[in-house]
Structure formats: C-alpha cells, structure tokens
C-alpha cells in the first residue's frame, strides 16, 4: 500500500525530516518512507523511488509530503504526524528571537550582518530586504538564480556593502565562526574564498602552522564565474585592504574564468598588503601551498607508507573544493565524487551534516575490484556531524582496501582533531597531513 499526505504550508529543514523519515521507516509493516518538501526535484526523487501518489503530486514547494509504502502505511502516516508534533527539549539559550528582519533590527540596532538560510526560492528576496536596511549579507541558501546573485552583488556595491554567497557555507568574521567553520586563532591573515571547504582547509592549516585569521570571507562558488565577475571577491579585498588588523591576504578559488582571474590579479597588485593567490590547478597551486606560503614555513609531512595497490583511486568527498583539488592531483590515476553536489543532496542533508550518505558509496566501492585505494576527506567544525570518523569507520568495517584520509579541523573544534584521527587509525585508515598530501600519496600507490 502506498500512501501520501500533504501538509499545506509546512516547512521543516532537511535534517529534521531525515530523522523522522528514519523513524517511520523502522516501523513494523513499512517498506520505505520519506518526508520531503514538495519542490519539483523532491517530487521527482519520490516518484523515482516509487513513493509518490496522486495526492503527493498536488504538493507545492511550500508544502510537506509524507510518503509511506507498506502494509501499515495508513498507521505510519498518523505516526509521522505525531513525531512531527513532538516538541524538542527546551533549552535556555539566552538568545532573543524575532520573526522578521525589521524586528531583529529593533532588538539589535547595532547589527550590520544578516545570515540568510531559507529555501533558495525565497533567499534573494530576504537578502534584498536586508541590504535595503543597510546590512551586509551572508546567503547560506543554495539554488539561487545566478541573475539574482549578480543583482544582489551590484546592489551591495552601490551601497558599499558586502554579499557573501549564495551557497556561502563558511565565514570567520572577527573571530566568530559562521555556518560550517572551525575554531582557529585570530591573527593577521585575511582569507577571501569562493569555496567553503577551501576556506576551512586553509584556515586550519594556517592554525596548525602557528598563525591566525583576522577574517575569512566566503563569496560563494560562482563568484569568479564570467557572469558574476568576482563582485564579491573584489568587495572583500577592498574591505580587508581597509582593515588594520589584516596584514596579509589569501585568495582561494576553484579554476576561475580567465578574464575574471585577470581582473582579480590586477586588483591584488594594487593592494599594499602581501597577497597569496590560490586558483586551484593554476601552476600546480594547492590549498596546502597557499597556507605554507602565507606562513613562510612547510607543514610537517609525517606521511604513512602503505603498500602499493592494484587498481584505481576513488575519492569520496564531502567538500567540493577538496574534491576538485584531489581530482587535479590524481590526474589519470583515479576519480573523485563530490557527494555534496546537488545531484546527491536533493531532499537530503549535506554529507558534512549526515555522513551516512558517503557510506552508501563506500559499500559499493568495497565490492568493486577495479578500485585499489579509497580516498576521503573529513571536515570538522561547527555545523558538521558530531563524529564523522566514527561513521566512516563503521562503513569501512571488514575492508581490505587501502584507505587514506585527511582531516580538516583543529583540536578546539567540537569533534576534536586528534580524537577523530585516532578513530580513523583504529579503523585502519592512513592519515595524511592535508588533502593535497593525501591525494598525492594515493596517486603514488597506483601509478
């Protein structure tokens, strides 16, 4: 029996829906269950999984679909509603809440930054509202049209404000970590990054080398696209140039548009501050080398020495830029899959939040004789899973393949860098000191 129920005008985040989906799936007499917001892409996923009925087809993007298949589907729908109605344990955070930007500014009139985290279809409207009230904006939301991104960044330029994003997953502003970010010391290095995990990797390596970060400004992965023209990165450079606490700049991006890269480099040359530019793949540039050049010292490379392997390398990554860097360094020795890509996260939490998504691919890779080495990233910090190493170790149970990983994080992160490394080593994983070192080690074992 297949049953759907549509809850009109009800929105919950994907993590909350995933947890309820799992509980419903475990009920007696249930073959499969999923709770998703009724966007076209989510309905396509439910349809492909055989979970969408005629009732579910009527759902709109503001609606919630409860989809259940099994002999006890009707009872499971009622159980799902009861689970959704459960109130979480109340914790006193001491934080005030507001239902609008206007009300928030009444409570915090000195605020100058708004973080936007709403469904992508509504993010541009909320960001514009914040800019019109004189606020800088960080847009965590993804699936925002590139035309909206350009319009917002042009509006910000007119008003001498900054737009970080869309799809800006990481920032460090005056020592405050926003979204996915790590606990790193404050210092003199300002980072501008068109990559969330790139910013995390560089800031953590700088910390490991004894340095600190004044500000880490994310600008969104499309900022150096020809259509956007680095509007966010150029604005961020201007801000850091004027910031007395910033003595050095580090710029990070996946391969940019050549014309846009030229514009950025010309702007950097006019800066009075020393700058390190890491456009991945340009002249062999890596995130590790960017951190090392900024600090003027090399990372201690205590490299493991596993045996050589037959077959290819498969990288299963949570961080998009880390995957791109590894892909470049592996060359023809292997392939990398960015599991944080929209292809894998439609209707599901990002694998940095729920790393079980990666284990589904690990199980397939363990059974593939063509794969000789598995390559992983682990990204720690605020927003990430509480124990990603434990989840990966569980997925590798019984594995006889060589597994190599790097861990992006610091000892002060909630997960604890050395605790995570110890868990991986106990599972037989070889640990490299950075993502670039890990990818080069993996290549050396199969080439």
Residue 360: its pLDDT value, please? 85
- Average pLDDT value for residue range 289-315: 91
Please state the domain count of the chain: 3
Q: Which of 266-270, 353-357, 376-380 has the lowest mean pLDDT?
A: 353-357
Q: Are residues 65 and 123 in the same domain?
A: no
- The backbone torsions φ and ψ at residue 90, rounded to the nearest 5 degrees and listed phi first, read -75, 130
In a domain, 300, yes or no: no
Distance CA 402, CA 413 (A): 27
409 and 370 in one domain? yes
Across the range 396-415, mean pLDDT stands at 96
Which of 401, 397, 387, 395 shows the shortest CA–CA distance to 430?
Answer: 401
Does residue 303 fall inside a structural domain?
no
For residue 12, is pLDDT > 90?
no
Distance CA 265, CA 277 (A): 8
pTM of the model: 0.86
Tell me phi and psi for residue 225, to 5 degrees. -70, 150
CATH number for the domain harbouring residue 368: 3.40.50.261
What's the pLDDT score for residue 91? 59
Per the prediction, the chain carries an average pLDDT of 93
Residues 334 and 419 in one domain: yes
The confidence band for 69, taking pLDDT boundaries of 50, 70 and 90, is very high
Based on the fold, state whether residues 141 and 254 are members of the same structural domain. yes
Establish if 141 belongs to a structural domain. Answer: yes
d(CA 214, CA 178): 14
Answer yes or no: do 285 and 361 share one domain. Answer: no
CATH of the domain at 66: 3.30.70
Residue 93 has what pLDDT? 63
Residue 75, exposed/middle/buried by CB under 10 A (0-12, 13-18, 19+)?
middle
pLDDT at 89: 62
- pLDDT digit string (tens) for 215-250? 999 999 999 999 999 999 999 999 999 999 999 999
Q: How many residues does the chain have?
A: 447
Q: Are residues 140 and 259 in the same domain?
A: yes
173 CB-side CA count, 13 A = 18
- pLDDT tens for each residue of 76-97: 999 999 999 887 665 556 778 8
Q: Examine the domain organization and report whether 165 and 132 are in the same domain.
A: yes
Do 141 and 275 fall into the same domain? yes
Q: How far is CA 416 from the centre of its chain?
A: 19
Statement: residue 345 has pLDDT above 80: no
- Asked if residue 192 is part of any domain, the answer here is yes
Show which of 85, 112, 141 is a domain's final residue.
Answer: 85
What band does 143 get if pLDDT is binned at 50, 70 and 90? confident
356 to 19, 131, 429, 431: CA distances (angstroms)? 12, 38, 17, 20
Q: HSE on the CB side for 354, CA within 13 Å? A: 15
SS (H, E, C) 239-287: HHHCCCCCCEEEEEECCCCHHHHHHHHHHHHCCCCEEEEEECCHHHCCH
Per-residue confidence (pLDDT) for residue 301, from 0 to 100: 76
**Structure confidence by residue, pLDDT tens digits, 97-142:** 888 888 999 999 999 999 999 878 889 999 999 999 999 999 998 8
Strand partners, 312: 371
Same domain? 193 vs 322 = no
How many angstroms separate the CA atoms of 115 and 439, rounded?
34
Structure confidence at residue 100 (pLDDT): 83
Partner residues linked to 5 by β-bridges = 66
**In this predicted structure, what is the pLDDT of residue 350?**
84
**266, 295, 324 - which closes a domain:** 295
Is the same domain home to 393 and 435? Answer: yes
Nearest residue to 324 via CA among 258, 279, 364, 386: 279
pLDDT for 97 equals 85
- Choosing from 85, 120, 145, the residue where a domain stops is 85
pLDDT-derived band at 415, boundaries 50, 70, 90: very high
pLDDT at 86: 86
Looking at the structure, tell me whether residues 150 and 285 fall in a common domain: yes
**Domain of 212?**
101-295
29-68 pLDDT, tens digit per residue, is 999 899 999 988 789 888 988 999 999 999 998 899 999 9
Same domain, 193 and 74: no
């Amino acid at each position: 029996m297949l049953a759907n129920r549509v809850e009109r005008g009800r929105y919950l985040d994907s993590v909350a829906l995933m947890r309820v989906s799992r509980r419903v799936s475990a009920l007696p007499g249930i073959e499969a269950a999923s709770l998703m917001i009724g966007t076209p892409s989510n309905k396509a996923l439910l349809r492909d999984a055989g979970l969408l009925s005629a009732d579910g087809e009527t759902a709109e993007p503001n609606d919630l679909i409860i989809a259940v298949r099994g002999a006890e589907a009707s009872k499971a729908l009622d159980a799902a509603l009861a689970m959704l109605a459960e109130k979480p344990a109340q914790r006193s955070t001491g934080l005030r809440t507001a239902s609008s930007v206007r009300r928030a500014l009444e409570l915090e009139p000195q605020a100058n930054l708004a973080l936007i985290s709403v469904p992508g279809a509504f993010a541009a409207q909320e960001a514009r509202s914040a800019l019109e009230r004189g606020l800088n904006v960080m847009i965590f939301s993804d699936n925002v049209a590139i035309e909206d991104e350009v319009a917002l960044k042009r509006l910000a330029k007119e008003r001498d404000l900054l737009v970080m994003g869309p799809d800006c997953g990481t920032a460090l502003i005056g020592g405050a970590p926003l979204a996915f970010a790590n606990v790193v010391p404050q210092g003199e290095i300002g980072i501008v990054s068109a990559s969330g995990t790139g910013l995390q990797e560089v800031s953590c390596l700088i910390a490991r080398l004894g340095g600190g970060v004044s500000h880490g400004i994310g600008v969104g992965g499309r900022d150096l696209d020809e259509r956007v023209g680095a509007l966010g990165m150029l604005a961020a450079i201007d801000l850091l140039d004027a910031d007395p606490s910033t003595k050095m700049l580090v710029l990070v991006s996946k391969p940019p548009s050549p014309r846009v890269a030229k514009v950025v480099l010309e702007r950097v040359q006019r800066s009075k501050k020393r700058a390190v530019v890491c456009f991945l793949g340009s002249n062999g540039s890596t995130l590790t080398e960017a951190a090392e050049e900024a600090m003027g010292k090399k990372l201690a490379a205590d490299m493991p020495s596993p045996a050589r392997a037959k077959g290819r390398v498969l990288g299963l990554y949570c961080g998009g830029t880390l995957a791109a860097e590894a892909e470049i360094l592996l060359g023809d020795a292997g392939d990398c899959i960015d599991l944080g890509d929209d292809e894998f996260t439609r209707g599901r939490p990002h694998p940095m939040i729920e790393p079980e998504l990666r284990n589904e691919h690990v199980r397939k890779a363990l059974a593939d004789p063509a794969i000789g080495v598995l390559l992983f990233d682990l990204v720690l910090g605020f927003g990430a899973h509480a124990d990603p190493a434990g989840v990966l170790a569980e997925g590798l149970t019984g594995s006889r393949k060589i597994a190599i990983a790097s861990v992006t994080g610091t000892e002060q992160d909630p997960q604890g860098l050395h605790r995570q490394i110890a868990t991986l080593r106990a599972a037989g994983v070889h640990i490299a000191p950075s993502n670039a070192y890990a990818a080069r080690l993996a290549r050396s074992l199969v080439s």
